[in-house]
Structure 1
Amino acid sequence: MRKAVGAAALVMSAVLLTGCGVLDGGSAKSDSGESASEKHKSSAKKKDKWGPPQTHEVTLEAKGEGTPQIDWMADTNHFGKVTLPWKKAVKVELKGAQLKLGIPLYITPQAVPGPDGQYVYPSCAIEVDGKQVAENAGGTSTKGCKYTLKGD
């Protein structure tokens, strides 16, 4: 019984591989007449429809005094305690659909005690390639700074 099942499995594997074009050197043609390697090349061209990757210099900044927790995103998401004033510059690469849809950039500083003892939110700013794209004067505003970076 084992030999019969093994032989059947071997025959079935050969039939399936032949039907998929693997046993004939991988040159099987699709319904459109393209070989597997031609199809792969054409799909690689489709991926390039967004254009070549772009790298941007992103600078995030929080001003004021104190040591707040800051949540920020540019290259990846980060969270930690910092000493103000604080500034971070990173290179961000956009590729594929990110060129059209964009990626979020943000900085959200937590409140710190102000000169009068009341808690205030530090001001913040975001620059992309040296151009300011977002700013928040701080004070009572909790929204931080946000921007969607897209390709040129």
Structure 2
Amino acid sequence: MANYRLMAFFGLVVVLAGCGAKEPAPAAQPAASASASAPPSAEPQAAATRTVKLEVLGKGKIMQPIIYVADEDGSESDTTLPWSKTATIELTGAEQRVGRLVSVVSGSVKDASGLLKPAACRIVVDGKTVVSGKGLCKYKVK
């Protein structure tokens, strides 16, 4: 009877060991061409450079800080208008597809009656005006 128990034990070990066995690998698929397997968006693009000029227009002293995002983030306070910042931005391939946000919050100036009003702003990319407004100007550079 001890032999039957020993054989049952070894049979159980063999069965359990077989449960962890790997299935045979599937048959190899024919290789697809490199152009068919790579998505079109994965192609590397050369970096592009854009010259961005942020401007706050008007005259007189700014009453609230000018806040900007271009090649770096920053702010200017206690400044006189007109104000501008020029940045050279190098865009990655992804930024060329989806854009990179640049912006300027123009702050406020006093009007003729002494009340505060938003100052005029403008964004120029590669010499072409792309946005003009008051208070906030933003644009996605591609």
TM-score by length of 2: 0.65
Deviation at 1:76, TM superposition (A): 1.5
Asked whether the 8 Å contact 1:109–1:121 carries over to 2, the reply is: yes
Which one-letter code corresponds to 1:63 in the other structure?
L
Deviation at 1:83, TM superposition (A): 1.9
The structure, 1 or 2, with the larger RCO (C-alpha pairs under 8 Å, 6+ apart) is 2
| Identity among equivalent pairs (%) | 31
1-structure distance, mates of 2:66, 2:123: 14
Alignment partner, residue 54 of structure 1: 48
SS in 1 for 2:80: coil
Listed as ranges, the matches of 1:61-72 within 5 Å are 61-64=55-58, 65-67=60-62, 68-72=64-68
Matched, 1:75 2:71: yes
Asked whether the 8 Å contact 1:55–1:93 carries over to 2, the reply is: yes
Alignment partner, residue 145 of structure 1: 137
1-structure distance, mates of 2:115, 2:125: 33
2-structure distance, mates of 1:87, 1:56: 16
Pair 1:92–1:111, CA change in 2 (3 A)? same
Listed as ranges, the matches of 1:14-29 within 5 Å are none
Structure 2 gaps, min length 5: 1-39
Asked whether the 8 Å contact 1:50–1:97 carries over to 2, the reply is: no
Alignment partner, residue 128 of structure 2: 131
Alignment partner, residue 91 of structure 1: 88
Alignment partner, residue 101 of structure 2: 104
Describe the superposition over 1:10-41 as per-residue Cα deviations: whole angstroms up to 9, x where unpaired. xxxxxxxxxxxxxxxxxxxxxxxxxxxxxxxx
Structure 1 gaps, min length 5: 1-45
Matched, 1:116 2:110: no
- Flag the structure with higher strand content: 2
Deviation at 1:111, TM superposition (A): 1.3
1-structure distance, mates of 2:44, 2:110: 46
Bigger Cα Rg: 2
Which one-letter code corresponds to 1:115 in the other structure?
A
TM-score by length of 1: 0.61
2-structure distance, mates of 1:99, 1:129: 15
